[in-house]
Structure 1
């Protein structure tokens, strides 16, 4: 019985020691230190600014957000254009070539870095304001 109690105690200690490692394996936007931006914060962050972003596949882009609601995405195979807006607490994008509206949450993850997260909870990109 004592050996069983000792093994259980060791397992509990190992689990407690592993919890910080689990936190480190999570995407930045899921960490307790991340902050989900509100609509007015998203507007202030993006309006009239450009961001440098990279997607999970390592591709880099620059998005420029006009005060008129237009966006230009540079990189890859040339420029893409579309409209952007803030709806509730989400950033929404509609490209001229693809009229499906795509809305994302934005999280501040520290050090001036932000992450956009798709509606299904997957990471879309990581960016900094230029």
Structure 2
């Protein structure tokens, strides 16, 4: 039996860089029914780093096209300014102005659920749907 070789020498296993990772999250925001008398829990997908204020920033960015088609509304004033979380405090931008009762409920429930998800703080005793 005859063996032939092409002269290519074996090399060790070459490793590449780590694969890129995209962090995708399901976040909850609270909107209102068209009659503006009931909160509705909505889940939105978000890719990237998440902190306690991320859900609230999604809420103040306004409704998605799907939410508009469903007839949902919001009383939270839309703004392009960012919301920040500092310890147990949510800092809203000045350009949001005074908030209606329903806007406060929307922000409160969104903040409570966001904190529970991000920080693992239980949301027991909270009256949000």
Question: Under TM normalisation by the shorter chain, which class is it?
Answer: under 0.3
Give the TM-score, by structure 2 length: 0.28
Q: Which has the larger radius of gyration?
A: 2
Higher strand share: 1
